Structure 1
Amino acid sequence: MWKNTMISIAKTFLRGIYSCHWISDNTRPNRPCCWFSFLSFVSILALSWMYVCYIAFNDRTDVNDQAFENLKTWVNWYMIVMVISAVLATYCLLLLVFGLLHFVIGEPLNLHWLHKVFLFLGLLTVTMGTVGVCIEWEKEWKTVYMSFQATAPFLHLCAVVALTLISWLVFKSYHKAQPSACKVFIMMTFMFVSAAVFLCPLAICSPCITNNLPPKPSLVGHRGAPMLAPENTMMSFRKSLECGVVAFETDVQLSKDMKPFLMHDNKSNTFLRTTDVKKKFPGRDGDRHTNFTLQELQTLNAGEWFLRTDPLQSVSSLSEEDKREAENQTVPSLSELLLMAKKHNVSLIFDLKNENNSTGFHNSDSYYTTDTIKKSGISPDKIWWLPKEYRHNVRNISPGFKQVYNVVDEMNADGGSFLNMEYSSLSAHEISDLREKNVSVNLWVVNERWLFSLLWCSGASSVTTNACHIFKNMSKPDWHLEPNKYMGIWISADVISLLLMFGLFLWQRKRNRVSRRNREEKRRIPLLNF
């Protein structure tokens, strides 16, 4: 009695969620299998899109910065996309689970029209998102491809578990199928899918499946430590020192009086995102850096925006003392950073944001920046010279600078041995080959543990990061397996799955025979009574 009541309640609940009919409805659903197939398709797409969003989280600032450049207002658009994607994926997966439970308990798959509308909206959302990535953010597909090197072994195990769980539904359909052709089709399809799942590790090539783990990459503070303090401020660089960085990465521009200062944004509204220029200099918030003297720039507040916008969702982890210090940061000069780098024996690498606008070496950012570096007294080998304009002139003036390149062919033609490239520009094999040739490889910008672990296994010399405080505590990659050990896990999982599926197949066959026998006996009883 109690058992039947619970089953009845469960059926009512599932029916209400899936079809919005809390009372049993005997009307025949309209194409239930087609709609269930559509639900499965949208669920897979939504889950895949959520995976893409999770992987692209490493580069979320690209989206937010581009949006700010266009709208002139800071909104964390990427987090909005993440929340919408998570809600969509959760909704579709829960609906799919309810549909499977309907199938198990024998309830009709009568999907309500409102769910159908939401599924179409979900399909439209995923389609628009995918098209947007293809048009505006195509490079991110390289990141997704790289992620499979980190996640493929685990995705394989998840696929094996899912295949094993679903197999009993397949076997149930197989035993109930009447024409022999249907049985053959069901079993051949299932065997093909199973073979693909069981053998897919043959196609998995991950640098973290190795016998020889390379040394941990060194850390370079991207604009300091922008998760712990406002970017490109002295507090930010001091915080990066606490992470043990080997170099500061920054952006150098020239003020009206030809003094190098630190600031990333360099188009219209240069100071609008990271300072209070609108409040301090009304009507001049759209001016470029060449309209401000260094003295004027250093009156700007470069920290309040960080607490207000929380660009990397890290402000809540700061102490009250750190928040007070962050709130009072100013725009630093290059000379200030050079003194800190010299004191702590840390290297410096930077972009010159407006070098292309120069009309000759002695009027260029390179000239004034080089002159400032020489006057600071820092050891020349602590300067990683990245700007390619006027490289020859700079090398003649300061031959001790380490010349850094962002194109392999240019480095080879110049006889260099130091690369600074975007993390997705080189494959694990290319990084390994470069390291064997004693080429130092610095990759930017790496913010997520999975990506840092993957590049660690690949052999990167160093990475430029916003998350130095996270990586400094990592003593090993998130996962690393010897090939023989991984093969053992792979084969064991496949064998266990095969044994379980064989057992489920026999169990379903036995149940089907018992069910058929019971039906035959029920037919005989009226005949005997007659």
Structure 2
Amino acid sequence: QFGAVGALTLLSWLVFQSFNQVQEIGCLVFFPESKFLIAASFLILSAFIYLCPLLIHSPCLIDIKEINLTKPDLWGHRGAPMLAPENTMMSFERSATECKVKVFETDVQLSKDGIPFLMHDNKNEFLKRTTNDTQKISCGNQVDISKLQSLNAGKWFIEVSAASDMSLATKRAETQTIPTLTQLLDLAKLHNISIIFDLYRPENCSNTNDTEDTVKVILDSGINHELIYWLPPQNREYVKKTSSFIQVYNNTKEMSAQNGAHLNVKYSDLSADEIRDLRNGGVKVNMYVVNERWMFSLLWCAGASSVTTNNCQVFSKMEQPDWTMVSDVHTCSNSGCLFVLPTPAV
């Protein structure tokens, strides 16, 4: 809007020059409405540009005192990947201790000997990005867990981060390995933190028992079932029959059909009004992946239950949305009303 106002101001002299030239060249004799059209068009365009902010809708156009919603919970996306190598024990530990996350978000695959391990990438050479694998392994179920855990899963992070110091954190990052799901379950029990995960099967790899094997490992761990947020849609009925995990859905249609109350969707999939309607209906709404403060602030104002983030170390320090604005602020007394310009919340 500021740009449009500036452009309108700079071009106004051309408009008024044309306005005056209409009369000078005698156009009014043949087109008496020309002068009126020029003036009316300019006034209409000016009014639209100056008033268009009234059309702007934001959940943060509200008095901060009227936000009765609690701060969205933080779900650590593969732990705290800005602080430590993703999907490693160091990453999850730092998300728990430094960010106070409520949920560990991760990715699970199965090894050749049926052990669930944590790894996001799931295409050919799926270990290449985050480990020092030189054999170009294409399927997790082609390798035993002992082989997988012999790989280094942290040196890549130091190289990408361009860290040159030899701090204790750096040294520890360099020694990280691929964790098993059992290791993460033990950490979750220790800190009473929930776990949610995608269950991946690398391309061209068959593993028909991945759901059953994963559920068995979780049940054998003895973790409280309410700490497990089950997201994978495959074999959901089997999971319901064998456990009391909290069922989480990735679309409102399936959630409604299953009488669910937990939704996990991309931050751009729902409007602020839709989030509020779902929350008013008793649905827990998690939005992923949210890394910017302004987006976190908007979802906070909208009433999101939680966000999955890579930036937990920043969001954990925020005490309120970065920006809120009251649409009209005024105080009145017997002598009249005083209107005050809205100010951003700091």
Q: State the alpha-carbon separation in 2 of the partners of residues 317 and 228 from structure 1.
A: 15
Alignment of structure 1 residues 391-470 onto 2, 5 Å: 391-399=236-244, 401-470=245-314
SS in 1 for 2:21: coil
- 1:189-220: CA deviations, max 9, x gaps? 43233211222133211111124322210000
Structure with max Cα Rg: 1
Q: State the alpha-carbon separation in 1 of the partners of residues 296 and 163 from structure 2.
A: 24
Identity %: 47
| RMSD value, Cα | 2.7
Q: Unmatched 5+ residue regions in structure 1?
A: 1-155, 279-283, 493-530
> Which letter maps to 1:236?
S
Which one scores higher on RCO, CA 8 angstroms, separation ≥ 6?
Answer: 2
Residue 293 (structure 1) aligns with? 144
Would you say how many aligned residue pairs link Structure 1 and Structure 2?
A: 321
- 1:133-159: CA deviations, max 9, x gaps? xxxxxxxxxxxxxxxxxxxxxxx4x34
Does the Cα contact within 8 Å between 2:126 and 2:138 map onto a contact in 1?
A: yes
Alignment of structure 1 residues 232-381 onto 2, 5 Å: 232-241=87-96, 242-278=98-134, 284-310=135-161, 320-354=167-201, 363-381=208-226
Q: In the superposition, relative to structure 1, how do residues 317 and 422 fare at CA in structure 2: closer, same or farther (>3 Å)?
A: farther
Residue 44 (structure 1) aligns with? none
Alignment of structure 1 residues 440-519 onto 2, 5 Å: 440-485=284-329, 489=341
2:198 equivalent to 1:198 = no
Does the Cα contact within 8 Å between 2:123 and 2:138 map onto a contact in 1?
A: no
Residue 163 (structure 1) aligns with? 5
Residue 384 (structure 1) aligns with? 229
Does the Cα contact within 8 Å between 2:109 and 2:200 map onto a contact in 1?
A: yes
Q: State the alpha-carbon separation in 1 of the partners of residues 118 and 317 from structure 2.
A: 28
> Which letter maps to 1:226?
P
> Which letter maps to 2:49?
V
> Which letter maps to 1:276?
N
Q: In the superposition, relative to structure 1, how do residues 356 and 271 fare at CA in structure 2: closer, same or farther (>3 Å)?
A: closer
SS in 2 for 1:483: coil
> Which letter maps to 1:388?
P
More helix by share: 1
Q: Unmatched 5+ residue regions in structure 2?
A: 28-33, 331-338
More strand by share: 2
Q: In the superposition, relative to structure 1, how do residues 166 and 411 fare at CA in structure 2: closer, same or farther (>3 Å)?
A: closer
Does the Cα contact within 8 Å between 1:247 and 1:349 map onto a contact in 2?
A: yes
How far the C-alpha of 1:321 sits from its partner, in A, is 2.6
Residue 21 (structure 2) aligns with? 178
Does the Cα contact within 8 Å between 1:355 and 1:389 map onto a contact in 2?
A: no
Q: State the alpha-carbon separation in 2 of the partners of residues 333 and 454 from structure 1.
A: 36
- 1:386-430: CA deviations, max 9, x gaps? 11111111111112x111111112111111111111111111111
> Which letter maps to 2:192?
N
